[in-house]
Amino acid sequence: MKKILALAGSNGKKSINKMLLHYVISRIENHEVKFLELTNYNFPIYGSDYEHEKGIPADVQVVNMLISEVDALVISVNEHNSGPSVFFKNITDWLSRVELKFLAGKKVLLMSTAPGGRGGASALAYYKEVLPRFGAEVVESFSLPSFPQNFDVEQQKITDEILLLGLNDVLSNFEQELED
């Protein structure tokens, strides 16, 4: 049994990426999964002057420690104006200051969703490229397009059968990668 940390890249209280994340992690059965609410931690806007004058904030170090204790991560990232959200970008910027390869040895299932038909494709592509620079092995990814049409908020589930089959394959592959 592997330890998995689940993170949402959104700071919105009604985040659709958090909804997707909770749905997906509820389907992981053979591993210990913990959701980490990043909005409970203080990550000031990164700046070299801030770091030089005040050092690395304690909450950044706590989150880094929590990541170091797991085998894998499930991360759902949102996008703003076809780019990564400032909220999650700031978190990865800070974590890389603690240790550049803060994701070394971690297998990652990377996801995204959005109201539009691209499903957060720009943010997903950005993090597929960037997370390996921090040591991550992105072993699977999943994008849920047109969230309002493909996800039932009341029942908390994906409603499109083809997308659900795709997610099932992604989850199966991810869990198999954890066993290898």
**pLDDT number for residue 180:** 76
Give the DSSP H/E element, type plus range, for residue 124. Answer: helix 121-130
Residue with tokens 């170091």: 68
DSSP string, 35-91: EE-GGGS--PPP-HHHHHHH-S-HHHHHHHHHHHT-SEEEEEE-EETTEE-HHHHHH
Q: Within its chain, how far is the Cα of 144 from the centroid?
A: 14
Structure confidence by residue, pLDDT tens digits, 10-37: 999 999 999 999 999 999 989 999 999 9
The type of residue at 137 is E
Domains identified in the chain and CATH numbers? 3-179 (3.40.50.360)
pLDDT tens by residue, 91-148: 999 999 999 999 999 999 999 999 999 999 999 999 999 999 999 999 999 999 999 9
The pLDDT tens digits for 41-86 are 999 999 999 999 999 999 999 999 999 999 999 999 999 988 899 9
- Alpha carbon distance 115, 144 (integer Å): 9
Helix (H) or strand (E) holding 173: helix 161-179
Average pLDDT over residues 141-158: 97
